Amino acid sequence: MDAERINQLIQITGAQWEAKDTPLSKAKVAPGAMKYMGLAISPTEISKEAKLAARTEPRAVSLQPPPPKVDWRNNGGNFVTEIKNQHECGACVAFATCAVLESRARIAQQAPHLNIDLSEAHLFACGCGDCCDTGWVNSKALDFARRKGIGAETDFPYNTMRRDGCKPINAIVKVRAYAAIETLTVRKKVVAAKGPVSASMEVYEDFLSYGRGIYQHVTGSLIGYHAVCVVGYDDTDQCWIVKNSWGREWGDGGFFKIAYGQCGIDTRFAFYDADLVGIGTATRTRARKSAREKELENA
């Protein structure tokens, strides 16, 4: 879609975001296509999420109201890892899951400079298979991370996945348990107390042209469903702060803000919380090294 036309409609509707030309807006993304997205959602899957949330939602994270704002990119340090790019493969679930677990590992170690880079290829190719054109679901990705764990990007790079298929590697992170979260207040409490979570949303044509601001759908058709990593929220601006997997040239350096209630992100779909078993020795070693490097930088 044309960014200039979208910006005109944004002004007319009073929305608070800005469109720009992006690699995604220039690509031909057909409705229903999995490339660039990849959340294989269905009424059955939504029903499963609701049942899982009813059974597992962590209702007692805190008796106190959640703070009015949290952003794990600036919360006593940056606990959010680098933006990545899933390219033309429907692997968003793997990218969102790895983004959550990378941040949770940094938080668990209280090490914002922890050098952790999980292999989306390991999670996607070994957990789902040849799924670039069919996509996946959040609960199955987390279940694979619970049963098998996820290895390092250096051991199974994403750019080799389509050539190599599933490549068994040693896990450096494993999930102990996960839970679906549906209540808005509990979503905020979990993000504030525990860290980033995985989320799902509808994607409309205008979202491909997002540049900055608080996204609200203003024009264009529904083209698919997408898994993302929520890294914070802001009650003043009434929005979620989200990490995407479309590279740094898209959005606000790869991140975006989306208004509460938009695109089903906190109404139609559950958030997913995940607790880690632990972190591999190699990762802890890199964490100590990174901490020492930071000390030297500040000396």
Segment 24-35, tens digit of pLDDT: 999 878 787 788
Lowest average pLDDT, out of 79-93, 144-158, 278-292, goes to: 278-292
pLDDT-derived band at 286 (thresholds 50, 70, 90) equals: very low
Lowest average pLDDT, out of 133-137, 235-239, 251-255, 286-290, goes to: 286-290
pLDDT-derived band at 144 (thresholds 50, 70, 90) equals: very high
Domain of residue 13: give its range.
3-298
C-alpha to C-alpha distance for 2 and 168, rounded to whole angstroms: 44
Helix (H/G/I), strand (E/B), else coil: 195: coil
* Domains contained in the chain, number: 1
Average pLDDT for residues 115-123, to the nearest whole number? 98
| Residue 136 in this model has a pLDDT that exceeds 50 | yes
C-alpha to C-alpha distance for 26 and 23, rounded to whole angstroms: 5
C-alpha to C-alpha distance for 284 and 279, rounded to whole angstroms: 7
**Domain holding 120: CATH number?**
3.90.70.10
Tokens of 263: 């695109």
pLDDT-derived band at 63 (thresholds 50, 70, 90) equals: low
Residues present in the chain in total: 299
For residue 24, what pLDDT is reported?
A: 94
187-210 burial string, b = 16+ CB within 10 Å, else e? bbbbbbebbbbbbbbbbbbbbbbb
Average pLDDT for residues 127-155, to the nearest whole number? 96
For residue 58, what pLDDT is reported?
A: 64
Average pLDDT for residues 30-47, to the nearest whole number? 81
Q: Active-site residues: which are they?
A: 92, 226, 244
Angle at CA of residue 212, ends 25 and 253, nearest 5°: 80
Average pLDDT for residues 41-46, to the nearest whole number? 73
Lowest average pLDDT, out of 86-95, 141-150, 290-299, goes to: 290-299
Segment 177-219, tens digit of pLDDT: 999 998 999 999 999 999 999 999 999 999 999 999 999 999 9
For residue 128, what pLDDT is reported?
A: 97
For residue 69, what pLDDT is reported?
A: 98
| Residue 256 in this model has a pLDDT that exceeds 90 | yes
| Residue 222 in this model has a pLDDT that exceeds 90 | yes
